[in-house]
Amino acid sequence: MERVPVEWQWMFAGLLIGITILMASAMVLLPTILTRVLRLRRDNAQKFQAYECGITPTGGARVRFSIKFYLVAMLFILFDIEAIFLYPWAVVHRWLGVFGLIEMGIFVLILLVGYVYIWKRGAFQWD
């Protein structure tokens, strides 16, 4: 059995990568080009109007939201991400021993202090 030179192996690998990139590009570009070429174009004002459950829209699209919406979203993300840190600890808590238990207790205590702080500041009240 004859051994294939290393240069040919590298060229074959490069050829496969090139074909993969070419096929991926075709999969992205071909549908986009075909839909632009073959589509039926019947634009009118009604198609560009905002759709709101069959009701004619009233007022502008730029409505000011209360800062409470953003505050609740940020608090949710904050506490949700911190809760994610509890999962790896739960998996390896026996391996960490007493040190890990104390460390996680401090972490939960910091979470609790933050939660009480925002509660006292009125972040959960919808006035």
CA dist., res. 2 & res. 8, Å (int) = 13
pLDDT of residue 61: 67
> What integer pLDDT is reported at residue 55 of this predicted model?
72
pLDDT given at position 52? 67
Read off the tokens for 115.
């939660």
* HEC assignment per residue over 42-97: CCCCCCCCCCECCECCCCCCCCCCCHHHHHHHHHHHHHHHHHHCHHHHHHHHHHHH
The pTM score is 0.45
Question: Would you state the pLDDT for residue 49?
Answer: 72
pLDDT band at 19 (very low <50, low <70, confident <90, very high): very high
| pLDDT 10s digits, 57-90 | 677 667 777 788 888 888 888 888 888 888 887 7
CA 125 vs CA 64, 77, 116: distances in Å = 19, 18, 13
Q: Would you say 50 and 61 are in contact if contact means Cβ atoms under 8 Å apart?
A: yes
